[in-house]
Amino acid sequence: MSTAAAAHDDHHHHAPTGLKRWLFSTNHKDIGTLYLWFSFIMFLVGGLLAMVIRTELLEPGMQFVDPEFFNQMTTVHGLAMVFGAVMPGFVGFANWMIPLMIGAPDMALPRMNNWSFWILPFAFLILLSSVFMSAFGAGHPSAPNFGWTFYAPLSTEYGPASTDLFILSVHMMGISSIMGAINVIVTVFNLRAPGMTLMKMPLFVWTWLITAFLLIAVMPVLAGAVTMMLTDRHFGTSFFSAAGGGDPVLFQHVFWFFGHPEVYIMILPAFGIVSSIIPTFARKQLFGYASMVYATASIALLSFVVWAHHMFTVGMPLAGTLFFMYMTMLISVPTGVKVFNWVATMWRGSMTFELPMKWAIAFVILFTCGGLSGLMLAITPVDFQYHDTYFVVAHFHYVLVTGAVFSMFAAAYYWLPKWSGVMPNKLLGELHFWSSLLSVNLLFFPMHFVGLAGMPRRYADYALQFADYNFWISIGGFWFGLSQLFFLAVCLLCAMKKGEKAAARPWDGAEGLEWEVPSPAPFHTFETPPVVK
Amino acid sequence: MSHDSLEHRNKRTLRKLLIWALAMFGFAFAMVPFYDVICDITGLNGKTSSTASTEGPARTVEDRTVTVEFITQRGQGVNGDFMSATRRVKVHPGEITLVNFYASNPKTSEIVTQSIPSVTPGEAARYLHKTQCFCFDQQTLGAGERKEMPMIFYLDPELPEHITTLTLSYTIFDVTDRVAANNDTVMNNNTVAK
Ligand code: HEM
Ligand SMILES: [Cu+2]
């Protein structure tokens, strides 16, 4: 009996419908779809919170919310975007595409897969309930208000009661991501079709494999950090409390030991996506496949030894700051290799500019901008000036929004035909792209300037000289937020199967196993593994 | 390949990865003692030794003068005064100096306080020796009490040349509840023992 058919015996005999289909699903495609919708909903929720921030900052002075509520908005916006939108979004793509790309019938541990997803909505219900209570509840008890980085002692001695909800919710998100990561690794190691050697795997699979290892290495450290917070708050320990002999700076070390690899967790899968899309529309092989794999691996390894670039200003010995500065700069070498390879792939290709390619090219250019501002921040003395200003906000929104999020838009337009069987609506897609592209730059580019001029982040107000820039930043924000409604429409149309029928290989330059199955991909695929030459 | 073998392989990989995740959870806690060791070696967090130095200075370097500044801060829940008699002193390395600190408790009940020192630049922490300090022990302040708390220190003659000014900061914390909680557990344990 063949491996794949055996593993999937139990799927043949039932196909539940309605709510049960989604609740009990162990099918990688269903779970992928759940993850993707969840991620998109969190993107909209997190976006709404950001609109509150930008409304308050539209004009100097206090207009709409009080500073306490403002702090809760920045905190929960960050948490919802990082843990709710970006990470689950990539897990959704992994679920849908990894089995299709390596010729596996499903993920290796389908029941665990169901768990990893269904923990998430509850984790976010818990977290968002605190925002709801803060906005509408009696006495307006504070939601978490210490920033997404939840530095001690803000989150320990000074944390509101809802901090405990936050801790529970982070634990649940962590368990979910660890299970998701384990599933990816087991699938890639054990379920590849015959002939699919590691060095033949599409880059999206490679980058996800490495991401999964990063997740297993650092999500437990995050769990450790919140556990220490919990015992500091309630069980008399003093890991982070100076009064009891602990040290709040230790918190920052533990957090960023997780936090920096975490930012790569949010970008490596994006590298994989772009590396799949660019060759398709340049109609050329990816330039430097092997160097892409090695670059990804070295980025992942280096990401463990740069964490203190987030804390140059806490006071470190000179040798320490120099070490972290050089290591951080070193990361831009493999990152540069990647950008070079993408450009080299496009060089003299027969390029066409369908929607996925437009997003991918925007990614390459704008992500590189974000990388460059990162390089500026890596210079210790410069960072003393820029740390905790809007310059940092500009940096990480370029790498995360025009980087990670744009790559997910690219991926969605690229694979929607495979998922739904219909082509995404072209007109709406073009509107979505151009409207997002212009607004996102209006939103984030001026943040560089106000940051360099000294506007600090995480304040509900600002000095008068920043008023004009902030006005336009807010306009960019509202515009970008509204532009996402085009994408909502695109997704709904595809979900309702309204649109031009998609061929099995809707993009003529596309290569890879996922295009060998019909569009929409049937519920079960590759039950007998394909043979890869 | 048989059915069993794939399931077996999956389980084996799963088990390995779970162990790894657990180990990394442990690693987070291992960072705590590791951090303390690094701090001791490098002075990363500017903590001075929490015990009195028993040896006196080897010599005094008369031709070198270093400024030592004092900063005091009150932690959460402390609302009395906490200050040093002087803001800064100029000393020669090796010279033994006394500085008085004052703390007061305006509350109507006794409080237990703990002061935590920190030196900037951190690398100077190792060269600041105290022969007496109120920070070595918890200090009890009666209701309405104002207390004089002496601190005696000298700078190590080996203090690196480029350090001309160093700042010693103290933060005072109210640890009354913490101490009460610890006593409770001690008492409970005793009761159990009986
Ligand atoms: C060339 C590569 C990069 C370099 C050299 C770099 C460098 C830095 C530095 C030095 C900081 C600290 C700034 C400060 O707080 O003063 C920072 C912050 C940040 N970076 Fe990057 N970065 C790079 C790429 C990325 C990528 C790819 C991501 C995520 C996709 C990312 C996400 C972030 C985030 C989220 C923060 C802010 C964290 C916070 O304080 O809230 N960076 N980066
Ligand atoms: Cu970083």
Decide if A309 is catalytic.
yes
Contact B32 A257 (CB under 8 A): no
Strands B128-132 and B82-84: what pairing? unpaired
- φ, ψ of residue A519 to 5 degrees: the values are -110, 130
> What pLDDT does A209 receive?
98
* Shortest alpha-carbon distance between residue B14 and chain A (Å): 7
pLDDT for A390 equals: 98
**Catalytic residue flag (residue A66):** no
Which of A7-11, A192-196, A345-349 is predicted least confidently? A7-11
Q: What is the pLDDT of residue B185?
A: 59
CB contact under 8 A, A320 and B171: no
Give catalytic status of residue A310 as yes or no.
yes
Helix, strand, or coil here: A114? helix
From the candidates A29, A192, A233, A309, give the one annotated as an active-site residue: A309
Question: Mean pLDDT score of chain A, rounded to an integer?
Answer: 94
Q: What is the pLDDT of residue B46?
A: 77
pTM of the model: 0.92
Active site residue A151: no
Q: Whose CA is nearest to atom 3 of ligand 1?
A: A374
- CA dist B123 to A250, A382, B178, Å? 17, 22, 31
By the 8 A CB rule, do A303 and A261 touch?
yes
Give the whole-angstrom CA distance, residue B17 versus residue B15: 5
CA B143–ligand 1 middle distance (angstroms): 50
The DSSP output letter for A82 is I
Please answer yes or no on whether A186 and B76 come within 8 Å at the CB atom.
Answer: no
Question: Is 80 exceeded by the pLDDT of residue A12?
Answer: no
Residue A222: pLDDT band (50, 70, 90) is: very high
Closest partner residue to B114 among A182, A243, A254, by Cβ?
A243
Task: Taking residues A475-488, report their average pLDDT.
Answer: 98
- The reported pLDDT for the residue numbered B49 is 76
pLDDT digits (tens, 9 = 90+) for A234-255: 998 999 988 888 899 999 999 9
CA distance A486 to A472: 22
Q: Is A267 in the pocket of ligand 1 (CB under 6 A)?
A: yes
Label residue A138 exposed, middle or buried (CB < 10 Å: 0-12, 13-18, 19+).
exposed
- Among A247, A312, A314, A316, pick the best mutation site for testing chain B contact (most B Cβ within 10 A): A247
Chain A: give the shortest CA distance to residue B144, in Å.
22
CB B68 within 8 A of CB B166: yes
Residues of chain B contacting A254 with CB distance shorter than 8 Å: 28, 31
Centre of ligand 1 from the C-alpha of residue A189, in Å: 31
How many angstroms separate the CA atoms of A487 and B48, rounded? 58
Q: Which of A140, A457, A505, A524 is catalytic?
A: A457
A257 lines ligand 1 (CB under 6 A): no
CA distance to A80, A166, A244, A354, A356, per residue, from A440 (Å): 19, 30, 46, 20, 18
- pLDDT number for residue B126: 86
8 Å CB contact between A36 and A121? no
**Extents of the domains making up chain A:** 26-515
Smallest Cα distance from B2 to chain A, Å: 7
Whether A527 contacts chain B with CB within 8 A: no
Q: Nearest bound ligand to CA A266?
A: 1
Long-range Cβ contact pairs of A436-441 (< 8 A, separation 24 or more): A436/A409, A436/A480, A436/A483, A436/A484, A437/A362, A438/A479, A439/A476, A439/A477, A439/A479, A439/A480, A439/A483, A440/A366, A440/A401, A440/A402, A440/A476, A440/A480, A441/A366, A441/A476
pLDDT at B181: 75
**CATH architecture assignment, domain B66-180:** Sandwich (2.60)
- The number of C-alpha atoms within 13 Å of A407 and in the hemisphere containing its C-beta is 28
C-alpha of residue A414 to centroid of ligand 1, in Å: 28
Q: Which residue does chain B place closest to A223, by CA atoms?
A: B25
pLDDT of residue B121: 86
Find the radius of gyration of the CA atoms of chain A: 23
Confidence of residue A337 (pLDDT cuts 50, 70, 90): very high
Give the torsion through C-alpha atoms of A57, A63, A67, A70, to 10 deg. Answer: -50
Partner-chain contact A182 B14, CB within 8 Å: yes
Q: Check whether A324 has a pLDDT greater than 90.
A: yes
| Interchain contact, B21 vs A228, CB within 8 Å | no
Query: With bands split at pLDDT 50, 70 and 90, how would you rate the model's confidence at A15?
Result: low
- Mark yes or no for CB contact A216/B21 under 8 Å: yes
- For residue A211, give how far its alpha carbon lies from the nearest alpha carbon of chain B (Å): 14
Task: A118-122: list long-range contacts, CB under 8 Å, 24+ apart.
Answer: A118/A23, A119/A172, A119/A173, A119/A175, A119/A176, A120/A35, A120/A38, A120/A84, A120/A88, A120/A172, A120/A173, A120/A176, A121/A38, A122/A172
Give the tens place of pLDDT for each residue, A346-389. 999 999 999 999 999 999 999 999 999 999 999 999 999 999 99
The residue-averaged pLDDT of A434-443 equals: 98
Is B76–A228 a contact, with Cβ atoms under 8 angstroms apart?
no
Is the CB of A396 inside a 6 Å radius of any atom of ligand 1? yes
Q: Are A228 and A236 in contact (CB under 8 A)?
A: no
A223 touching B, CB under 8 A? Answer: yes
Task: Name the closest residue on chain A to residue B123, using Cα atoms.
Answer: A317
Mean pLDDT across A160-180: 97
Average pLDDT over residues A379-401: 97
Asked if pLDDT for residue A105 goes beyond 60, the answer is yes
Say whether A221 and B24 touch across the interface (CB within 8 A). yes
Q: Does A186 touch chain B (CB under 8 A)?
A: yes
Residue A472 falls in the annotated catalytic set: no
As a whole number of angstroms, the distance between CA A54 and CA A382 comes to 27
> What is residue B190's predicted lDDT score, i.e. its pLDDT?
44
Residue holding tokens 């969840």?
A38
For A26-515, CATH gives 1.20.210.10
Residue of A29, A192, A284, A338 marked active site: A338
Residue A42 in this model has a pLDDT that exceeds 50: yes
The closest-lying atom of ligand 1 relative to the alpha carbon of residue A377 is 10
Closest CA to B50 of B42, B59, B40: B40
Question: Chain B contact for A467, CB < 8 A?
Answer: no
Model pLDDT, residue A272:
97
Residue B16 CA to residue B146 CA, distance in Å, equals 60
Q: What is the DSSP string of A483-499?
A: HHHHHHHHHHHHHTT-S
More confident residue, B61 or A8: B61
Looking at residue A14, what is its pLDDT?
A: 58
CA dist B92 and B95 (Å) reads 5
Pick out chain B residues at pLDDT < 70. 1-4, 184-194
Nearest C-alpha of chain A: how many angstroms from B158? Answer: 18
* Least trusted range by pLDDT, from A46-60, A97-111, B53-67: B53-67
